[in-house]
Amino acid sequence: MSPQRLSHIPPSFLITLPQGLLELDIADRIYVDPDTTTRFSTDFGRLTRAPPSAVLYPSSPDDIAALVRFSYFSLHPFTVAARGCGHSVRGQALAPGGVVVDMPSLGRGRDDRINVSRGDGSSFWYVDVGGEQLWIDVLHETLKHGLAPRSWTDYLHLTVGGTLSNAGVSGQAFRHGPQISNVYELEVVTGKGEMMICSHNENPALFYGVLGGLGQLGIITRARIAVEPAPERVRWARLIYTDFVSFTRDQELLISMSEEGFDYVEGSLLMMDHSLIGNWRSSFFSDRDWEKVKLLASQFGAIYCLEGAVYYELATASSVDQKLDSFLKQLSFVPGFAFAKDVSYMAFLDRVHDGEMKLRSMGLWDVPHPWLNIFVPKSRIRDFEIGVFKGILKPNNSMGPVLIYPLKKNKWDEKMSAVIPDEEIFYSIGLLRSAIMGDWEHLDDQNDEILRFCHREGIEYKQYLPHYTAQTDWMKHFGLKWNVFVDLKRRYDPKLVLSPGHRIFTSSL
């Protein structure tokens, strides 16, 4: 690994502990020992390493507010990063030389941080959850009431604050929007250390700014999230295509259907690397079916897998096959290559965890992850396929799942900080790569090549879970939202205390 490609910071910077920090009332919850700071110096990506000076294990949101306030009023403010599970891949949850806040501490040993309630005088329900909570725990708790949030991520062992700082997308987002479109209210600690409540009506600028705001404006300590009656079962289907045009046409058909259609639509590229690493996200195929799919992939080099799901109640089980068949009749997958499975709603939503367990058992989870996630406008998805799937990736292999699925712009709120392409339909492309031999540079070079290809061809993509090192790139990323974002930063985090790992604001405003 070449050291100059890692984001190291000068050692002299690291040993400077913010003055007065250990005299605060919260000092007994601040750890400065090298074991602790080393643990908080990298993330799931393992591409970036930069230790903080200290780590705060907060016992309440007030502890976080006290820390941020102390920094804000210091002569030399230090940076503070909330860290959910550190599932970022480019150091976004790091605070080089500053203080990392271990968000899960807020909920440790407590069972009052997820509360399901009914809206005043109405029939709608919501759940109030601590920003540190994992989505899997939110699911477990809401299911006790027969309810569940409606928009998810593929993997549920992520924190609520972490995904709401990005967007939170999965196969339900075409219908319900990303997770950020399903929030009623937030409690936030701003970069001045103020605790504020915000919603569509109360402090709306902060509310919209924080959602998709990459942790730049505030630390989410509570979110009020929409829930609805949870389905009991899921008929989960995978359909194989050898032709990209039919694959995307069918995906777009499925997301254009009404509420009566599929409840979840995703898709992926299956390449010649049939190893577990390319398909860790879930166990789906039987050994026999997998052999059949692999044979087809070896004939065509790369094939596409449309993944859809229909939710249902046990009481309507008798009609679900009929419903699925009526959808399948409209689609153009390879005859004989439709596979279906029946699982509980919980098993369906938590499907990626199985893959995680398998990779962990093989020592393949804690490896470098040079992931690239981008949103590509529908009008250019075919060019992307030819240039990237059939071009850049073809002679290599994907070294991990490659996700491809369409989303709808009208399900995103323009006022929120998250950025998407300016087209009614755009594709979420995720190259979720694992460098199992530690050799991540060539995969990262390939990611750069993909981005260069998009620039050259004028494909107006947007990075999701973005990573840039120059402010000019961030300005381009935010586009028309940049000025508003800078104004909000001036208002809520004028001393640039929060979330330094993104490197959006590196000099004073």
Q: Provide the annotated active-site residues.
A: 87, 154, 266
The count of C-alpha atoms lying within 13 angstroms of the C-alpha of 247, restricted to the half-sphere facing its C-beta, is: 27
**How many binding residues for ligand FAD (CB under 6 A)?**
35
Query: What minimum distance in Å lies between the beta carbon of 296 and ligand FAD?
Result: 26
Establish if 211 lies at the interface with ligand FAD (CB under 6 A).
no
**Residues 21-50: x where in contact with ligand FAD by CB under 6 A, - otherwise, as a string:** ----------------------xx------
Question: CA torsion, points 80, 65, 508, 478, in degrees to nearest 10?
Answer: 80
Q: How far apart are CA 286 and CA 192, in angstroms?
A: 54
The answer to whether the CB of 343 falls within 8 A of the CB of 233 is yes
**Residues 451-470: x where in contact with ligand FAD by CB under 6 A, - otherwise, as a string:** --------------x-----
Q: Which residues contact 315 (CB under 8 A, 6 or more apart)?
A: none
In the set 203, 251, 398, 499, which binds ligand FAD (CB under 6 A)?
499
SS3 229: strand
Query: What minimum distance in Å lies between the beta carbon of 364 and ligand FAD?
Result: 12
Query: What minimum distance in Å lies between the beta carbon of 346 and ligand FAD?
Result: 17
- The 10 Å CB-count burial string (b at 16+, else e) for 451-481 is eebbeeeebbbbebbbbbeeeeebbebbeeb
Q: Which tokens in the block code for residue 470?
A: 């120059």
Query: What minimum distance in Å lies between the beta carbon of 313 and ligand FAD?
Result: 26
**Residues 338-377: x where in contact with ligand FAD by CB under 6 A, - otherwise, as a string:** ----------------------------------------
Q: How far apart are CA 199 and CA 205, in angstroms?
A: 9
Query: In terms of CB distance, is 218 or 387 closer to ligand FAD?
Result: 218
Q: Which tokens in the block code for residue 286?
A: 């039987």
In the set 82, 211, 399, 488, which binds ligand FAD (CB under 6 A)?
82
The answer to whether the CB of 208 falls within 8 A of the CB of 297 is no
Q: How far apart are CA 494 and CA 487, in angstroms?
A: 9
**Residues 151-170: x where in contact with ligand FAD by CB under 6 A, - otherwise, as a string:** --xxx--xx-xxx-xxxxxx
Query: In terms of CB distance, is 44 or 327 closer to ligand FAD?
Result: 44
Q: Name the segment binding ligand FAD (CB under 6 A); options: 87-95, 246-254, 290-298, 329-337.
A: 87-95
Establish if 215 lies at the interface with ligand FAD (CB under 6 A).
yes
Task: Tell how many helices (H) and how many strands (E) occur in the chain.
Answer: 16, 18
Q: How far apart are CA 211 and CA 415, in angstroms?
A: 9
Residue at token pair 């260069």:
452
In the set 83, 176, 233, 351, which binds ligand FAD (CB under 6 A)?
83
Query: What minimum distance in Å lies between the beta carbon of 359 and ligand FAD?
Result: 10
Q: Name the segment binding ligand FAD (CB under 6 A); options: 69-77, 80-88, 297-305, 440-448.
A: 80-88
Q: How far apart are CA 188 and CA 202, in angstroms?
A: 12
Query: In terms of CB distance, is 44 or 207 closer to ligand FAD?
Result: 44
Binders of ligand FAD among residues 227 to 286 (CB under 6 A) are none
Binders of ligand FAD among residues 92 to 111 (CB under 6 A) are 92-93, 103
The answer to whether the CB of 153 falls within 8 A of the CB of 163 is yes
Query: In terms of CB distance, is 331 or 418 closer to ligand FAD?
Result: 418
Burial level of 437, CB count in 10 A (0-12/13-18/19+)?
exposed
Q: Name the segment binding ligand FAD (CB under 6 A); options: 77-85, 410-418, 451-459, 481-489.
A: 77-85
- Specify which residues 372 forms β-bridges with: 431
Please report, as ranges, the residues that interact with ligand FAD according to CB under 6 A.
Answer: 43-44, 81-88, 92-93, 103, 131, 153-155, 158-159, 161-163, 165-170, 214-215, 219-220, 465, 499, 501
